[in-house]
Each structure stands twice: as structure tokens, then as C-alpha cells.
Amino acid sequence: MTEIRVLIADDQALVRAGLAALLDLEPDITVVAQAADGAEAVAIAGELPVDVALLDIEMPGLTGLEATERIVAAGRGTRCLMVTTFDRPGYLRRAFDAGASGFVVKDTPAAELAEAIRKVHAGLRVVDPALAEKSLLAGPNPLTPREQDVLREASHGASAGQIGRALHLSAGTVRNHLSSAIGKTGTANRTEAVAVAARNGWL
């Protein structure tokens, strides 16, 4: 029986411990390390032999998506499986763009999660069926990278001038991007546009 060495990255200690306890019951899966954020996950994956990294998406500092991109780019053969509370359709597309091999939600039964790890380790792709359907219905992210940047800054309550200074754009250009994003999200103002974009995993 081939041993599958797993790294668990999640900023919630109880979640990490719970996942580790469940997976260690599997005869062919060994949790070799745990990380509290994306940067720690990247560092561990660069030092230890890890077959599959389980990564939460929303972690402080380096997100799970950014960590996935770096782990895959390192070329050590580690496959990444996103395990998240947030079943946002935009996250699915961004995860695969980053190089992830699978995407499941945290309430996936332990036996199914273990099977997902085995499939990812074998080189297959795994996607939560309900999320896959939701992603197809939602379609691709309509926002340009610059519109995403502007909305991220707007989410902190920054004015057009402040956003412009942060992104090295004129206030007029910022307002144009905000107007475009509001139109694409079918909303009435920047606050609603941020909310819709965040809910769909576009930011």
C-alpha cells in the first residue's frame, strides 16, 4: 500500500486538528505537517516530501490560492486540494488557474475527503459536484484584473483618490473602473459591487 503524505494548511487550529485526526485513521494517508497560513504551507512543501497539500482558501497573508500557485510552480510534485468553507463559484475557476488538482468543501464526509486525496494523488481532478454546477451557471469572472484591484481597494472604504494613489491611477480612471464593475455586476453602487464580487469569489 502506497503511503500518501499530506500537509494540512488552515488558519483555524481546531479545523487542522480535526482534519488530521480523521485522515490519520486512513491506513494509506499520513499527515506529515500542518500549517497556519499560506506562507508556512509553501515553506513546508519546499522542505518536506509532501504528496498532497490540503489548503484552505481564505488565510491571512498568503491565501490558499497564492500558496497553491507557488507550491505547484516549485515543481516538487506536490498536488494541491482546496478544502474550503466558501463554495463560491469564482473560487473554483481561480483554484484551477492556480494549478489546484481538486476542490471540495469542508463539510465533505471524511471518507469522501480521503477518497478525494487518493484521486488527486493518482493524478485525477476532483470537484465538488454542487460547486461545479454552480460554477457553470455563474459563468466566468466578468471583471478585468484592474477592476478586481479597484474593487479590493474599495472594499476597505477607500475613496477614488486613495484607490488611485494605491494603484498609481488617476481618480478619473478609478471612477471609470468602478463604473464598469458596477455595470458588470448589475449593482447600483460600489458597495454592492464589492459584495457581489466577493460572494462569487471574483476578488
Averaged pLDDT, 129-157: 79
Q: What is the residue extent of each domain of the chain? A: 4-138, 145-199
Burial profile 24-44: b = 16 or more Cβ within 10 angstroms, e = fewer: eebeebebebbbbbbbbbbeb
β strands within the chain, DSSP E: 4-9, 29-35, 52-55, 79-84, 102-105, 126-127
User: What is the model's pLDDT at position 73?
Assistant: 94
pLDDT, tens digit (0-9, with 9 covering 90-100), for 27-71: 999 999 999 999 999 999 999 999 999 999 889 889 999 999 999
User: What is the model's pLDDT at position 46?
Assistant: 93
Q: Has residue 187 got a pLDDT over 90?
A: no
Cell 497564492, residue located:
66
Burial profile 52-61: b = 16 or more Cβ within 10 angstroms, e = fewer: bbbbbbebee
pLDDT, tens digit (0-9, with 9 covering 90-100), for 67-111: 999 999 999 999 999 988 866 767 777 888 889 999 998 888 889
Arch. (CATH architecture) of 4-138 = 3-Layer(aba) Sandwich (3.40)
Domains 4-138 and 145-199 share a fold: no
Looking at per-residue pLDDT, the higher value among 112 and 90 belongs to: 112
CATH T-level fold of 145-199: Arc Repressor Mutant, subunit A (1.10.10)
Q: Has residue 136 got a pLDDT over 60?
A: no
pTM of this prediction exceeds 0.75: no
Averaged pLDDT, 122-142: 75
Taking the C-alpha atoms of residue 131 and residue 126, their distance in angstroms, rounded to an integer, is 11
Average pLDDT, whole number, for the chain?
88
User: What is the model's pLDDT at position 89?
Assistant: 66
Averaged pLDDT, 129-144: 69
Grade residue 135 by pLDDT with cuts at 50, 70 and 90: low
Grade residue 173 by pLDDT with cuts at 50, 70 and 90: very high
Q: Has residue 190 got a pLDDT over 80?
A: yes
Q: Has residue 137 got a pLDDT over 80?
A: no
- Identify the helix (H) or strand (E) that includes residue 89: helix 89-98
Q: Has residue 132 got a pLDDT over 80?
A: no
